Structure 1
């Protein structure tokens, strides 16, 4: 890639521009794009996104369209076939009309900008990032439909829970299922009439996992969609008398960052913030009138249908008392080093067929709301770029369908608000917790209208917030409709509410500190149960002392944090679950039931069941609970002595809990030795339960999810706003902005989110000009 100094001295020609565009790159790597029209600002956004993130963009497109085999060879054909099963194949006109009036135009111009940069790499090969050289291929041109047809990158996951629930019920019964997964509201699970639970084995989800997971020849179980935090604080509750908005979406830790900050300025709008590099516009940020942020609102948007197959013809399935033939299409997948592969994609009336069990004469298909028109993730954010106040913003997000999202906003007039928006299926005769027979008795009855979901404007308490918790209002405030029964633990929401509810005035610095708050609510509750009574065992006394004198903050330098997390998610959890199961299942089933119910928290922590069990034990027999706490705690203490050394003063949570940024090619190329493929490991504060989320893989201790992007907006004094985006803005390993923000991120620091022309001029690192070439 040419350096910024070279770019600074050049006017770059971009075929397809209508008028000149100026791009100023600031000291944090943010491109501020000035154009004379929306058409040119979206074109330039695509061009600059490709300049900074070309391989990431190309990989996103190849994963979604099922074109990985064209680069990596025949081992990935099955994965490509799976991806193609989940492409949007509906009415393209209806799809474009769902997002925003100018969505198709915006995407067309954005894609033209990407293609213009690809054309530049064809003329100057040194512009290509090293991934293309390593894999020996060149990037392909985009079509506008690529952006809207790809849906498998979204945040969904109910299908995994449906199958896991069916397996648990079949093997162990409803009490064990209650232990496996906490439901809100706590309804009983009812098996749909005619559903044979024995059919739901792990193979059922193989194709679904290949389609929605990372590039791999081995299907990995889909993890819980990552969480997020956001809040908006009214002017009456802040030190400046202006609203504050904060948002920190939590996603998988990767290289480069999923989020990409950009500033888009034209006569129609002036918006700055973050989105995903493969999409035009901005999803989180502000436009000089309204600031906006989002978190996941975990709506149930998927169902698995189970069909009886014709005994003599597996392409026929029973539906409405007749045999109906699956719709099939044959496609050709290009394969590196081998002939093209012909694959067949089958669909039922409900959706793509993901598995056929020939022995049991059964087939399985997915109905997903995200395969409906208007469900390309985050693309609906185009509708609110021009909002002039909170009311405009609320009207614009009525178009929002995917993923399910809690929107918060704050405007310059002082209004704040929250709106939950998603495409919510209406299930008239079942709850969505289990697969259902595909014979026509279990059908969606359309979708809930947008205004059926709750919203709040200017609440008396002076703030709104969300953290993926069960946040549906009470029945006195809202006519409740079924949305989901599976939410995130409320630990983060509880901690946010504690801080926002105190009497002191909120500042940007306090909001930033709250985004990086590492106090563990479960730790505070569990450690309060410990009693410091002398024992004959010095290890027990020292372990109890460590935790009872601790401030419950999951600091990377804390020895108590290392002990607590090892104990809470290790010995204590296993003991609590095991004790419950011993009274629930036959002795020969206990080990298998324990393996089935212990949570896999790789992406999102869920201590809800643990805390419920502890509260129950404490209420029933507090003395017996003390014995359990003491025994498991000393076992964890001694395990850490073996792991970290006899001297517990040298223990730190950061020795067990670290962040590594890994490039997606790390797991798929034979020689991942290039230093740019792995950055770290770095000791990391936080846990799955803290506002500053740092979920991790217990097998490695490496962080798997968290907020690599954060922003805090001073509404009305825009240049005072701050943000961070780790490891850096660029996706090109040769660029200094590839990893220049890691140290700031690790120390909970931010950079200024410059907005005014004067502020941008003062912090400019480079400025270059795009001028029109040949029209596209």
Structure 2
């Protein structure tokens, strides 16, 4: 098997690198309390060595500003509702929406949920960012080009602001509730089976008192503005993404992870692998960093705007994550009091909304005064006084201790399974499959995160806000599933429904990822009794689909008259399911399964109005309906299956002829399935700058159903989701661990580390995750020696 690692080559070459080739810098930094070092290695990974934990987190913030200042400054302004002050009056609506979702509770309760000392860490991190911002203002460091393009300046931070921002939380049930209500209104609730598949098998129930037709997409406008990215469209104010597109984007968020016991590895040491799937952007949504101080040793990936890391290792144990499917949102529908739109029906009376008045500063203009309304359940998203209705959202992520990934603070010092369990017990959001492996050989998994208790409904549709549908607190952490040292010798998760058989509690959700990635991962791991780091890399790059054989099996009985259709079916029948960039069968299958099968099925099975909501639907949902001869197929389900398959395949071939030409032999998957990423600010740049900022295009293999996730959205095949970062960790022999960050570590288009990891990300060539000081010194490209400023 090809050795798909930079690490082996690097180990051979790095000892020959002369010390003179290592760039040396000396900086005086105000706010630093003792001398320190940042060693940047050949892959852009910053290794931070400081004399105290406080200085380490200070320098993590300082270094984040060095590499990613524009990205993190925009993250803060978006989250706090401060875009208008920095950019233009066009962002007032987005600022108002963001402020609806800020944490407004007791900060003492907030900090108490995180590891001791967290407030000091966040404060130090913010102070480090501020120190770098001050150096820019004094002319000592360059201002990133994006600030020039946007005619803005970076702001100062406070530590508490970071945890108050909640609009970046990875949950999405509210969007699904609205879409399900739209399908129920236009085609009946059963038609939602065409759109998504529920796990475990479940029939949604219409909540008593809900008219689904009153739930319109405009209800979610503020939510979508608050949780959406910042757009730079000259001459146009930001608009919320279409609801179906936003829901699909959220559905694609996920990850793979697995952990292998020493008894099943080639070295006798555990292996932990993780590749979180997020929107593929430049700069990357993740940042890999190494933190060292007395009492602190931590390396891995996290959000660049937050201290610490969320996946990686601490020299004692390694930890990773994927999204667990807990439903942490509910949309409430209220009856407004006649003549008083600020009061709503609750039980036998009327309850007043809380009104918060704030002033939004505006660049070049007067502040805009806004009113934010809150019900007992949460922020008011939409009010329709003319029809006597209003809508608000309850979320787990508005609870104390539920800032995204902030509970990872407990993992920094975890040394054992019991320490890891304690960290999981404190986890708020997002809900996760947390995995662990330590140097004693223990491995395990815990489902973590706040899981609301719903006694009398399933959480799949909006509910009346009159008191009949209330959360009864949250499930105790100990009731969520977990396993230590599994008897099979490994554990894996890929966002699938993984509640164990006989799970006693009410399922925390019915909305999970489909199983194809997990099925492939399980098959590969089970086939390798001596699993290695190379095997982990190969599995993260695996482009085989376990979803494809299901459609091919259904198509075996087809007998088309058209020769092109017969040729297509012959190719599919001989195909091994590998969605490589060179595969022609992959092109036919993916276009059929994702672009035409669901649409034709919906046209045969429901109303035109419902079809418009369902659109392409989920391939897993469509296949389930065809496989089970669902009643939606009508009186002749077998005939309907064949007719739907043939009609959708004919549409597929016509589509591909138009896209790629008449010669089927030229229909390679990589011609359609390409990745190209540009930063959001690119529309403000000139052509030369845009070109410098753009990464790609490149044709790649995989899809949303393969372990090597390369998911696309809607009617084109441009890759928008995949692994933002990949880690494969050799637990105990840490320097043999490897990583990739897509497309690079730096956010500066002029920096070599802006895109240097992109070719390796696409081809499976990983970089070493150097951990020991000797390995870091060998890999050094630049050494920044820092001293306290006088």
Cα distance change, pair 287–609 in 1 and its aligned pair in 2 (3 A): same
Cα distance change, pair 533–327 in 1 and its aligned pair in 2 (3 A): closer
What SS does structure 2 have at the residue aligned with 1:178?
helix
Cα distance change, pair 530–317 in 1 and its aligned pair in 2 (3 A): closer
Give yes or no for contact 2:261–2:489 (8 Å, CA) kept in 1: yes
Deviation at 1:678, TM superposition (A): 2.4
* Alpha-carbon distance in 1 for matches of 2:423, 2:760: 35
Deviation at 1:578, TM superposition (A): 2.6
* Alpha-carbon distance in 1 for matches of 2:459, 2:639: 41
Deviation at 1:361, TM superposition (A): 1.2
Cα distance change, pair 534–157 in 1 and its aligned pair in 2 (3 A): closer
1:609 is aligned to: 621
Give yes or no for contact 2:192–2:614 (8 Å, CA) kept in 1: yes
Cα distance change, pair 627–363 in 1 and its aligned pair in 2 (3 A): closer
What SS does structure 2 have at the residue aligned with 1:577?
helix
1:714 is aligned to: 730
2:543 is aligned to: 518
Give yes or no for contact 1:532–1:541 (8 Å, CA) kept in 2: no
* Alpha-carbon distance in 2 for matches of 1:70, 1:6: 44
* Alpha-carbon distance in 2 for matches of 1:690, 1:161: 24
Deviation at 1:10, TM superposition (A): 3.2
What SS does structure 2 have at the residue aligned with 1:314?
strand
Of 732-741 and 662-671, deviating more is: 662-671
Cα distance change, pair 671–426 in 1 and its aligned pair in 2 (3 A): farther
Q: Deviations over 1:392-446 (max 9, x none)?
A: 2122221111100000111111111000001111122222112122222222111
Of 138-147 and 527-536, deviating more is: 527-536
1:750 aligns with 2:775: no
2:14 is aligned to: none
Give yes or no for contact 2:167–2:227 (8 Å, CA) kept in 1: yes
Picking from 365, 368, 376, the partner of 2:403 is: 376
* Alpha-carbon distance in 2 for matches of 1:735, 1:515: 27
Picking from 344, 368, 377, the partner of 2:371 is: 344
Cα distance change, pair 442–534 in 1 and its aligned pair in 2 (3 A): closer
* Alpha-carbon distance in 2 for matches of 1:429, 1:634: 46
Per the normalisation by structure 2, the TM-score is 0.92
1:399 is aligned to: 426
Alignment of 1:91-130 (within 5 A): 91-124=106-139, 126-130=141-145
Give yes or no for contact 2:383–2:389 (8 Å, CA) kept in 1: yes
Give yes or no for contact 1:259–1:274 (8 Å, CA) kept in 2: yes
2:30 is aligned to: 15
Picking from 754, 757, 761, the partner of 2:777 is: 761
1:459 aligns with 2:486: yes
* Alpha-carbon distance in 1 for matches of 2:569, 2:383: 54
Per the normalisation by structure 1, the TM-score is 0.94
Deviation at 1:299, TM superposition (A): 1.0
* Alpha-carbon distance in 2 for matches of 1:517, 1:400: 31
Q: Deviations over 1:586-622 (max 9, x none)?
A: xxxx22222222346xxxxx43212212212499866
Give yes or no for contact 2:594–2:616 (8 Å, CA) kept in 1: no
1:598 aligns with 2:615: yes
2:598 is aligned to: 573
Q: Deviations over 1:210-236 (max 9, x none)?
A: 111122421112332401000000111
* Alpha-carbon distance in 2 for matches of 1:168, 1:533: 31
What SS does structure 2 have at the residue aligned with 1:385?
helix
Structure 2: unaligned runs, 5 residues or longer:
1-18, 232-237
* Alpha-carbon distance in 2 for matches of 1:55, 1:321: 51
Q: Deviations over 1:309-357 (max 9, x none)?
A: 1211211222232222211121111112322111111111111111110
Cα distance change, pair 191–631 in 1 and its aligned pair in 2 (3 A): closer
Alignment of 1:728-743 (within 5 A): 728-743=744-759
Deviation at 1:736, TM superposition (A): 1.0
* Alpha-carbon distance in 2 for matches of 1:57, 1:6: 31
* Alpha-carbon distance in 2 for matches of 1:715, 1:6: 32
1:76 aligns with 2:91: yes
* Alpha-carbon distance in 1 for matches of 2:688, 2:388: 44
Cα distance change, pair 533–617 in 1 and its aligned pair in 2 (3 A): closer
1:651 aligns with 2:672: no
1:242 is aligned to: 269
Deviation at 1:260, TM superposition (A): 0.3
Deviation at 1:676, TM superposition (A): 3.4
1:165 is aligned to: 180
RMSD: 2.1
Cα distance change, pair 27–332 in 1 and its aligned pair in 2 (3 A): same
Which runs of structure 1 show a deviation greater than 6 angstroms over 4 or more consecutive aligned residues? 4-7, 532-535, 618-621, 668-672
2:282 is aligned to: 255
Deviation at 1:672, TM superposition (A): 9.5
Structure 1: unaligned runs, 5 residues or longer:
582-589, 601-605
Of 619-628 and 746-755, deviating more is: 619-628
Deviation at 1:699, TM superposition (A): 3.0
Give yes or no for contact 2:596–2:616 (8 Å, CA) kept in 1: no
* Alpha-carbon distance in 1 for matches of 2:559, 2:372: 68
